């Protein structure tokens, strides 16, 4: 099921985001590149939470309808978000 693949991808990203960030070699922490990397990594949990909330709103209601928009499931929003998350082409976008 498509929902299982998306959930698995989110879980993998979430797991990676919880890992400690390794030291960036010999660059000092004050280096702009290191600071930017650390700030970006700090954004990941919030972005994952936002994406998970959006996907949860557009899950199947068990009757082949989207729980969020009542369209046939998977709805267009779910397909677009899933394709982007999984790195797949979505010709309908």
Taking residues 51-75, what's their average pLDDT? 93
Peptide bond connecting 9 to the previous residue in cis, omega within 30 degrees of 0:
no
* In a domain? residue 66: yes
Residue 39 lies in a domain: yes
Asked whether the predicted pLDDT for residue 38 surpasses 70, the reply is yes
Whether the CB-CB separation of 78 and 55 falls below 8 Å is answered with yes
Domain count, the chain: 1
Q: Is residue 67 included in any domain, yes or no?
A: yes
Asked if residue 26 is part of any domain, the answer here is no
What percentage of residues in the chain have a pLDDT greater than 70? 76
Position 70 in a domain: yes
pLDDT of residue 6: 83
Distance in angstroms (rounded) separating the CA atoms of residues 51 and 20? 22
């Amino acid at each position: 099921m498509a929902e299982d693949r998306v959930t698995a991808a989110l879980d993998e990203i979430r797991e990676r985001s919880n890992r400690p960030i390794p030291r960036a070699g010999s660059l000092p922490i004050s280096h702009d590149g290191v600071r930017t990397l650390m700030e970006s990594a700090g954004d990941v949990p919030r972005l994952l939470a936002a994406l998970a909330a959006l996907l949860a709103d557009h899950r199947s209601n068990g009757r082949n309808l989207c729980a969020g928009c009542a369209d046939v499931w998977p709805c267009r929003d779910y397909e677009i978000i899933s394709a982007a998350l999984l790195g797949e082409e979505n010709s309908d976008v």
